[in-house]
Amino acid sequence: MSIRKYLSEFGLNMINEWIFVLQQDQLDTIKEFPHSFHIYMIARRPRITLDPDVMIFTEEHVEGQFKIQKGNSFDLFKFNVPNHLGANVRLECPYPHTEYKIYNDQGNLVSAGNAAALMTKFAYENTTEHEALDLEVLYIGQAYGDSGERTAPDRLVNHSTLQEIYADTLRKTPDQDIWILLCSFERMLMTSFDGTASIYGTTDEEDLDHITTVLKNPITMQQEINFTEAGLIRYFQPEYNDKFKYNFPNPAHSTYSQCYELDLNALSIELNTEELMSRLWSPNISRDWIHLIEYPLHSKEQRKYMFDFFG
């Protein structure tokens, strides 16, 4: 049975702070966002369209339905929501019915957007989850430059893997749409103190030196994003990723070497998409709103996990 190396063990936890979902033609809209995005995910879900033939506007309500494509058939998502636009409005929703515009009786544009985003809004307001809004993770990459520049919009406009995914989707699954998730993360230093054990792998003096070293030498943001990217890839094992898919964590990887140099015990990632009304999933991972991902940096034979107080 392994023992605890230090009385005072440390790990890093990355928690998503901001997360947005959009499509490639909307990337320009987030260029002026005041926060950096660290990670992007390319994902897909069924194509969602608005059925313009059944839309009814009354003074009190708007009634209609979304069509969720599954192969050559459609599931329906009906809605009846309060009308804040007035009854005398005109809807424009041309084929393929993924985008809509609504004009008032003076001809002024009063509402416009994407059908899937509108369905998400209605689902959120009515706390109605729907599997069609869930996103299958296909690829994960960094949206963070070496100097901290915001690179997501520029990198994704002509991203070769994104173009490959679009081409494959048109050829293999034309009933699906491609979406991009942009995520920013904040760090939290995890600590674990266990003074109950009778034996440790270090002395009290070495434990104190370890505490001082960790607290005085914070890991760089670039290395934090490196291991966040690698950890997410290892977890979801997306179809279009190769690197880190089966070999994370690994002390031979220089991109997050500081974690080993500081002799940390573990890395973890928290990813929450409840506000998007979209659960993330992959063939390797079940659909869920919250993904809590933990990676001990050392094998059980080498060292006890920092939160294992009973094993």
Per-residue confidence (pLDDT) for residue 161, from 0 to 100: 84
DSSP symbol at 309: S
Does position 301 have pLDDT exceeding 90, yes or no? no
Does position 150 have pLDDT exceeding 80, yes or no? no
How confident is the model over 193-216, as a mean pLDDT?
89
Per-residue confidence (pLDDT) for residue 153, from 0 to 100: 65
SS3 221: helix
Order across the sheet with 89-92: list the strands: 89-92, 99-104, 109-114
Does position 157 have pLDDT exceeding 90, yes or no? no
In the numeric block, the tokens 């929450």 are attached to 272
Look at residues 272, 291, 276 and name the one whose alpha carbon lies nearest to residue 231.
291
pLDDT in tens, 93-130: 999 999 999 999 999 999 999 999 999 998 888 878 89
pLDDT in tens, 42-88: 999 999 999 999 999 999 999 999 999 999 999 999 999 999 898 89
